[in-house]
Amino acid sequence: MEDNGGEDGIVLTEEQKRRRRHRSIAIALALGVLVALFYVVTIVKLGPGVLRRPL
């Protein structure tokens, strides 16, 4: 899909597109790290209790 949408829309330069792509990748990586961190922290805080839950 084009970024400009129509003739009067805003057209991003190649540099702006490149920087936006890099920002998006950085956000994705940060979210991935947070997911991994929350998972590990949960396991550590619960310890063996993670398996002891009512079925």
Partner 1 sequence: MTDLSAVEQNREVPAFAISEASVGDYVALMKPRVMSLVVFTALVGLMVAPGHLHPVLGFAALLCIAIGAGAAGALNMWFDADVDAVMSRTKSRPIPAGRVLPQEALGFGMTLAVGSVAVLGLVANWLAAGMLAFTIFFYVAVYTAWLKRSTPQNIVIGGAAGAFPPMIGWAAATGAVGLESVLMFLIIFFWTPPHFWALSLWRTQDYARAGIPMLPVVAGPDETRRQILIYALVLAPIGASPWLFGYAGPIYGITAVAAGAMVAHLAMQLRRFGDTPAGDRAAKRLFGLSILYLFLLFAVLLIDDRLGAPGHGLL
Site of interaction with partner 1 (CB under 8 A) = 10, 12, 15-16, 19-20, 22-23, 25-26, 37, 40-41, 44-45
Residue 50 CB, shortest distance to partner 1, in Å, is 14
CB atoms within 10 A of CB 12: 13
Measured from the CB atom, is 37 or 53 closer to partner 1? 37
CB atoms within 10 A of CB 36: 10
Residue 9 CB, shortest distance to partner 1, in Å, is 12
Write the CB contacts of 10 (distance below 8 Å, at least 6 apart in sequence): 3, 4
